[in-house]
Structure 1
C-alpha cells in the first residue's frame, strides 16, 4: 500500500509564507500525494508549482468555522475554481446543524457543490463540536447535498479524527461517499488504524514523517516517533 497516494498534504496554517507553501508543494510532488490542501489565496501558485506532477490542488471554503453566508461560500468556491482548484473542502454550518436547521445546512452545502461544477467536494463536519446524533445528521445532509466525501475536522478545533467517528461516518453514508480523516493524523500507525476503520483519504501536515515511517518499516527498521503537533496540524 502506498500511503502517500491517500494523503492530502495540508498547507493551511495562517502564518505560512509563499516560500513555505512552495516548499510544501515540493514535498507533495516528491512523495506523490493525492493532493495538497492550501489556503484559497494559494491555489493559483500551488497549481503552477504542481503542474505535470499528478498532484491535485485542493482548498478550503468557509474555513475554519463554516459560518459565512451561503452566498459568500458560493463566491469563494467560484473564485477557487477559476484559480484552478481540483477539490473543495467546505466546512458545514456547524451552528445551524446544532440548532436543528437541517434544510438550511443541506441547501448551503448543495450550493457549494453546484458552484464546484463537478469537482470533488469534501464536507468538514468538525466532529469535536458534535454529538453522535449530530454527526449522523451531518453525514446524511452532506450526501443528500451531493458531496463526495465527509471529513472529520479542520485541524483547528479541540479534537480531530477518532476511530469511533470514522466508523460512525462510514456506517452512515452510502458506498458512493468516501470518508476523510483529518486532525491528529501524524503517524503511520494512526493512519493505518483509521484506514481500517473506513477512511480512504487523510489530511495531514506530517506527510514526510509518515512516508519515512513506511519506508523504514519496509527496510525492516524501527521508525522514529514524530513529535506532537500543534493547532492547525492535521
Structure 2
C-alpha cells in the first residue's frame, strides 16, 4: 500500500511561519503526499512552492470553530481557490447542529458547495463535540448537501479521530461520501488501521514520521 497517497500533509498552527510552510511543501514533494493542507492565507505561497507537481493544495475554511457566517465561508473558499487551492475543508456549524437546526446546517454546506462547484469539499464534523446520533445526522446532512467527504476533526478540539466514529460515519454514508480521518494520527500503524476500516484520506502533521518509521517504509 502506498501510504503517502492517502496523506494530506498538514500545518494549521496559527504560529506557522512562511519558512514552515515552505518546509511542509518540500516534504510533500519529497514523499509525494496527496496534498498539503494549510490555512487560506498561505495558499498562494504553497502554490508557488508546489509548482507544477501532482501534489494538491487543500485549504481550511471557517476554521477551527465553524461558527462564522455562510457568506464568510463562501468568500474564504472562493478566495482560496483563486489563489490555487484544489480542495476545501470546511467546519460544520456545530452549534446549529446541536440546536437541531438541521436546515441551517444543510444550507451552510450546500451554499459553500454550490459556490465552489467541482472543487472537492470536505466537511469537518468535530466528532469530539458530537454524540453518536449527532454524527449520524451530520453525515446525512452532508450527503444531502452534496459534499464530497466527511472529516472527523479539526485537531483543535478535545480529541481527534477515533476508529469508532469512523465506523459510524462509514455505515451512515454507505459509500456516498468519502471519509477523512484527522486529529491525533501520528504513526503509520495507526494510519493504516484507519485505511483498513475505509478512510480515503488521512490528515496529519506527522506524515514524514509515518514515512520514516520502520512499519511505513515497507508500505511505501
Deviation at 1:176, TM superposition (A): 2.9
Q: Is the 8 A contact 2:90 2:124 kept in 1?
A: yes
Partner of 1:154: 154
Cα distance in 1 between the residues matched to 2:156 and 2:33: 22
SS at match of 1:137: helix
1:122-133 pair list within 5 angstroms: 122-133=122-133
Superposed counterparts of 1:76-115, under 5 Å: 76-115=76-115
Residue 19, structure 1, aligned to residue 27, structure 2: no
Deviation at 1:25, TM superposition (A): 0.6
Q: Structure 1 residue runs of 4+, over 4 Å off?
A: 214-217
How far off its partner does 1:78 sit? 1.2
SS state at 2:58 partner = strand
Q: What whole-Å deviation, never above 9, does each CA across 1:178-209 have from its counterpart, x for those lacking one?
A: 00000011011110111112211000000111
Match of 1:58 in 2: 58
**Any unmatched runs of 5+ in structure 1?**
220-234
Partners of 2:11 and 2:160 in 1: CA distance: 17
Point out where structure 2 has 5 or more consecutive residues left out of the alignment.
none
User: Match of 1:90, SS?
Assistant: strand
By how many angstroms is 1:217 displaced? 5.1
| Closer, same or farther: CA 2–72 of 1 in aligned 2, 3 Å | same
Q: Deviations over 1:64-105 (max 9, x none)?
A: 000001111111111111111100000000000000000100
Q: Normalised by the size of structure 1, how large is the TM-score?
A: 0.91
Aligned-residue CA RMSD (Å): 1.3
1:198-213 residue pairs with structure 2 within 5 A? 198-213=198-213
Displacement of 1:52: 1.8
The normalised TM-score by structure 2 is 0.97
Q: Corresponding residue for 2:38?
A: 38
Superposed counterparts of 1:113-192, under 5 Å: 113-192=113-192
